[in-house]
């Protein structure tokens, strides 16, 4: 992550640890990547439209999409290659539930 920022309302007196976004990465047997990320805290009470910059190492994507697990929306993602091993997703949404980054061809878009 690039400068995850400070979430107001989280202090020494608050029981909100951890207060930084969590990231879980997965790789299928076929080599496709999947990333889940979320903030294990309730930012909606204080922050609206939270965004982060997410840097991932040793993950390969050709046509990444962002899946919102609450409403089922799928959005194309812009990815910047920082170097041979690192990629950056800039200004992607953050919530207290997981968003998924996955290859577009790995999901069924028929509705």
- CATH number where 26 lies: 2.60.40
Whether 13 is in a domain gets the answer no
In a domain, 52, yes or no: yes
| Angstrom distance (rounded) from CA 4 to CA 63 | 25
Alpha helix (H) residue ranges in the chain = none
Kindly report, residue by residue over 38-91, the tens digit of the pLDDT: 887 765 565 567 888 999 999 989 999 999 999 999 999 999 999 999 999 999
CA 33, 39, 40, 42 torsion-angle sign: negative
Within-domain flag for 5: no
| Contact (Cβ atoms closer than 8 angstroms) between residue 63 and residue 75 | no
Asked if residue 40 lies in contact with residue 24, where contact means CB atoms within 8 angstroms, the answer is no
To the question of pTM greater than 0.85 for the whole model, the response is: no
- Residue 59 domain boundaries: 22-106
Nearest to 66 by CA among 103, 30, 110: 103
Please check whether residue 8 lies inside any domain of the structure. Answer: no
Token readout for 17 is 């640890």
Q: Please answer whether residues 2 and 88 qualify as being in contact, where contact means their C-beta atoms are separated by less than 8 angstroms.
A: yes
Chain segment 85-111, per-residue pLDDT in tens: 999 999 999 888 899 999 998 888 765
User: Between 93 and 14, whose confidence is greater?
Assistant: 93
Q: Flag whether 15 is in a domain.
A: no
In this predicted structure, the answer to whether residue 1 has a pLDDT above a threshold of 50 is no
Looking at the DSSP bridge assignments, the partners of residue 48 are none
Confidence class of residue 3 from pLDDT cuts 50, 70 and 90? very low
What is the count of structural domains for the chain? 1
């Amino acid at each position: 992550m690039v400068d995850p920022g400070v979430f107001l309302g989280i202090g020494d007196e608050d029981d909100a640890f951890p207060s930084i976004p969590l990231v879980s990465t997965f790789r299928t047997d076929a080599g496709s990547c999947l990333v889940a990320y979320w903030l294990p805290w309730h930012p909606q009470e204080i922050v609206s439209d939270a965004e982060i910059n997410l840097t991932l190492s040793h993950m390969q994507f050709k046509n990444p999409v962002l899946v919102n697990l609450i409403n089922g929306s799928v959005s194309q993602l812009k990815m910047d290659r920082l170097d041979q091993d690192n990629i950056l997703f800039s200004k992607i949404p953050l919530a207290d539930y997981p968003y998924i980054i996955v290859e577009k061809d790995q999901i069924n878009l028929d509705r």
